[in-house]
């Protein structure tokens, strides 16, 4: 990969994460998440192997669906409450849709099947970026909206993710998927 293109992709990753983390408006948070999605795609598909192209396609489709769900959640909240502020998420349907969208983006247990498959098709460095840097913006949105979200549902998803991740890791022979 061209060094300038790689630098542009990595800079865009940090820019998108910064925009999402520092935003107080849903549209800006969504914009940052979309910048992240578009910035990681060249890094995932930089080796022109069919598995890498498949991983990039899967990643794009899953993240686009989750972003659309997040945007729909924020628009529903704005429709009913008139607020586009991230901390003013009060409508119950919006809270449930946002929880689903963030769970998909983070790869939590009901929506986790895409993540190991994508990690399998990437290099270790790109997998590290996917597993760390790209998780900060959704976690930040989750923390900003946590007073409005259902704590029982979040706790159940966290416990299920930890339990299933540990249990599935015992039967896994590929180190990249365990990481």
The residue whose two tokens read 């349907």 is: 93
More confident residue, 71 or 1: 71
Tokens standing for residue 124: 């270790």
Could you tell me which of 80, 72, 92, 91 has the C-alpha nearest to residue 26? 72
112 confidence band (pLDDT: 50, 70, 90):
confident
Fill in the DSSP letter of residue 87: G
For the chain, helix, strand, coil in percent to 5 are 80, 0, 20
Distance (Å, rounded) from C-alpha 128 to C-alpha 126?
A: 5
More confident residue, 178 or 60: 60
Chain-centroid distance of CA 96 in Å reads 16
Answer whether residue 131 shows pLDDT above 80.
Answer: yes
At 151-175, the pLDDT tens digits run: 898 899 889 988 887 787 777 776 6
Mean pLDDT of 100-113: 90
Does pLDDT of 113 surpass 70? yes
Q: Is the model's pLDDT at 54 over the cut of 90?
A: yes
On the question of pLDDT at 139 being above 90, the answer is yes
**What residues contact residue 117 under an 8 Å CB cut-off, 6+ apart?**
55, 58
Task: Tell me how far the alpha carbon of residue 45 is from its chain's centroid.
Answer: 18
Return d(Cα 114, Cα 30) in angstroms, integer: 21
Position 124 confidence tier, pLDDT thresholds 50, 70, 90: confident
The tokens describing 135, both together, are 């998780």
pLDDT at 176: 64
Tokens of residue 7, six digits: 């630098």
pLDDT of residue 178: 62
- pLDDT for residue 120: 87
Longest Cα pair distance anywhere in the chain, in angstroms?
A: 51
What are the residue ranges spanned by the domains of the chain? Answer: 3-177
Closest by Cα among 43, 46, 37 to 16: 37
Looking at residue 161, its pLDDT comes to 86
Pair 17, 36: CB distance under 8 Å: yes
Tell me the C-alpha distance between 146 and 133, whole Å: 21
- Per-residue pLDDT of 55-84, as tens digits, reads 999 999 999 999 999 999 999 999 999 989
> What is the average pLDDT score of the chain?
90
pLDDT score, position 150: 87
pLDDT tens digits, 13-52: 999 999 999 999 999 999 999 999 999 999 999 888 889 9
């Amino acid at each position: 990969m061209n060094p300038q293109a790689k630098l542009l992709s990595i800079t865009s990753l940090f820019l998108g994460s910064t925009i999402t983390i520092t935003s107080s408006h849903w549209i800006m948070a969504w914009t940052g998440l979309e910048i992240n999605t578009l910035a990681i795609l060249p890094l995932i598909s930089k080796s022109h192997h069919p598995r890498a192209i498949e991983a990039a396609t899967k990643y794009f489709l899953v993240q686009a669906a989750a972003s659309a769900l997040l945007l729909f959640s924020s628009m529903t909240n704005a429709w009913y409450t008139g607020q586009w502020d991230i901390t003013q998420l009060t409508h119950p349907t919006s809270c449930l849709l946002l929880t689903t969208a963030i769970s998909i983006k983070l790869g939590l247990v009901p929506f986790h099947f895409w993540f190991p498959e994508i990690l399998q098709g990437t290099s270790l460095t790109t997998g590290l970026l996917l597993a760390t840097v790209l998780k900060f913006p959704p976690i930040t949105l989750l923390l900003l909206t946590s007073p409005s979200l259902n704590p029982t549902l979040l706790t159940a998803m966290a416990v299920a993710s930890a339990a299933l991740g540990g249990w599935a890791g015992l039967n896994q022979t590929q180190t990249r998927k365990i990481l």
